[in-house]
């Protein structure tokens, strides 16, 4: 199991607001690395899982400026537990994908 923390703003298909150019680009690049690594990893480790995870809006100093406009801001502890639950339910056929903290697939 290999997972990285990404962000929904890295999704090209889910971009409805624009802005945040550098942050979006860096997360989109991370997502591409995960997708590419999963393809290569499957050749030698077919049961491995390599995914990107979106933790949702977490109550941190980074999210504080815009968290008021978000419907669900969660504590770091809740976000971590949700991500662990997502990871526990993933199988090798889920490798190379992007999931949110509720286990729903996120569009690349």
CA separation for the pair 49, 76 (Å, rounded): 24
Alpha helices in 2-75 (DSSP H): 21-44, 64-67
In a domain, 74, yes or no: yes
Torsion sign over Cα 105, 8, 91, 40: positive
pTM exceeds 0.75 for this model: yes
In a domain, 105, yes or no: no
Query: What are the pLDDT digits (tens) for 45-82?
Result: 999 999 999 999 898 888 777 766 667 889 999 999 99
In a domain, 108, yes or no: no
Query: What are the pLDDT digits (tens) for 21-40?
Result: 999 999 999 999 999 999 99
Number of domains the chain contains: 1
**Which CATH number goes with the domain that contains 52?**
3.40.50.720
In a domain, 22, yes or no: yes
In a domain, 76, yes or no: yes
CA angle 29–54–101, rounded 5-degree value:
160
Domain of 11, in residue numbers: 2-100
DSSP class of residue 28? Answer: H
Pairing of strands 50-54, 57-58: unpaired
């Amino acid at each position: 199991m290999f997972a990285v923390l990404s962000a929904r703003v890295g999704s090209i298909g889910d971009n409805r607001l624009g802005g945040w150019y550098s942050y979006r680009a860096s997360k989109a690049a991370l997502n591409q690395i995960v997708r590419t690594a999963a393809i290569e990893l499957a050749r030698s480790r077919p049961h491995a899982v390599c995914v990107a995870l979106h933790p949702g809006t977490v109550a941190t100093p980074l999210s504080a400026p815009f968290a008021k406009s978000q419907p669900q801001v969660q504590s770091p502890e809740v976000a971590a537990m949700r991500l662990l639950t997502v990871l526990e339910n993933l199988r090798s056929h889920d490798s190379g994908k992007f999931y949110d903290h509720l286990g729903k697939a996120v569009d690349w």
